[in-house]
Amino acid sequence: MQNSRPSAGSTSPHAYDENIPHWKGFQPAERKSLYSIEKDGFAVDQYTHVGQWGTHVDPPAHFHSGKRTLDQIEVKEQLLPLVVLDVHHQVAGNPDYQVTLADVQAWEKRHGPIPAGAFVALRTDWSQRWPDQARIQNLDTQGVAHYPGWSREVLAYLYETRKITASGHETTDTDPGSATSRDDYSLESYILGRDHYQIELLANLDQVPEAGALISVTFPKIARGTGFPARAFAILPD
């Protein structure tokens, strides 16, 4: 995630590249030069990649036929109060950690109820392993991935009780690695099935406050789009 203030800017993390970490079922992206400044006086590249490449948006249609595609996500859903659930200490001791309701209650004890319409980001500091694919996946000798994730009890509380708009995380998946290694993506299916979008492979959550910031989530308005690289940045309080 990029941090932004009215008087200062910063560089954006997770730049697009052909060989960045990605979900196990995807092939690397490709870039082909069609025109060059040296030969043609202008440069044009052709990019070939899956929609879910790098930091990206997953609309409901990514998992559920008939649900909203990228072009149907409204602008009002793209500028939201930002809530950061910080569990990076727990993850440091247990890479399989799943955020708990107690973690959310601790946040609310410090800051008050999570506001309706918020974007909730799960801070695990897993993005600090970028761009090492092996460290991102963290496979054991049996091929089981070990990385943190959401939990059903927390997602149900956030979406059904607190009525948040969207959520995001630093890992390649919503579900923890222990689940995705069994091809269990039920938590991601839950979010998208409720007609919400999510952002995967966020970064720099250690540089934004737990409460008080806004998040802007941007991506192209692609007709019938089921996913695409996205750019998210925080607008910090003075």
Does a structural domain hold residue 40? no
Residue 182 near residue 213, CB atoms below 8 Å: no
Residue 90 counted as domain residue: yes
Q: Which domain holds residue 218?
A: 2-16+51-235
For the chain, what is the radius of gyration of the CA atoms? 18
Do 228 and 219 form a contact (C-beta atoms < 8 A)?
A: yes
Which domain CATH number covers 123?
A: 3.50.30.50
Q: Is 62 a catalytic residue?
A: yes
For the stretch 127-179, pLDDT in tens is 999 999 999 999 999 999 999 999 999 999 999 999 999 999 999 999 999 99
Those residues whose C-beta lies under 8 Å from the C-beta of residue 64, and which sit 6 or more positions away, are 189, 192, 193
Question: Would you report the helix, strand and coil content of the chain in percent, each value rounded to 5?
Answer: 25, 25, 50
Q: What is the pTM of this model?
A: 0.94
Supply the DSSP symbol for 84.
Answer: E
Dist CA 62 CA 53 (whole Å): 13
Is residue 6 a part of any domain in this protein? Answer: yes
Q: What is the count of structural domains for the chain?
A: 1
> By the 8 A CB rule, do 21 and 132 touch?
yes
Q: What is the pLDDT of residues 225-236, one digit of tens each?
A: 999 999 999 999
Q: Has residue 43 been placed in a domain?
A: no
14, 49, 56, 62: the catalytic one is 62
Percentage of the residues of the chain whose pLDDT score is greater than 90: 89
Would you place residue 13 in the very low, low, confident or very high pLDDT band (cuts 50, 70, 90)? low
Is residue 187 in some structural domain?
yes
